[in-house]
Structure 1
Amino acid sequence: MPTAKNSKPDFITADIKLFVDGKSVANLTGIKSAFNYSAMTGFGLLVGRNIGTPVSQEYKVPFNFTGKIEKVVIEIK
């Protein structure tokens, strides 16, 4: 029986863009990122907004959070 390979994603160098209310506010280039991470949703990573399949039946999409988000931390290991 063959030995299983490591299932962790490969890492690539990526450019990252931060948008707030649809406006570009920051850009980083050459960031180490998990391969195809943003392609899993097709939308990248959304915070305070859902345009795909809802994670709960409590709301319908598209959904835009109207409260205040104090802090967002994203860590890729």
Structure 2
Amino acid sequence: MARTVGPPALTWLLLVWGIPGWLLLGAVLLAASYGMGPAVCRAGASHRGGPAAGVVVEAGVVGEAVHSGAGRARGA
């Protein structure tokens, strides 16, 4: 439903409301960006027990996570 209603609603907001519509959109995006910091911290706190998703931990290396394909030479 959001994918159906969202684009026309945003278009209506920006075309009909004009500058106040743009300011409202900016305020919504600013509020969402401020909410990302606490959300990321909370997600990180709940996953402290293991490596982050998508991270490969090399055998024999304690406390260091290396992304696969990072271009690090073996034995370096």
Interval of TM-score (by shorter of Structure 1 and Structure 2):
under 0.3
TM-score, normalisation: structure 2: 0.26
Q: 1 or 2, which has the higher helix percentage? A: 2
Q: Which has the higher contact order (CA 8 A, sep 6+)?
A: 1
TM-score, normalisation: structure 1: 0.25
Structure showing greater radius of gyration is 2
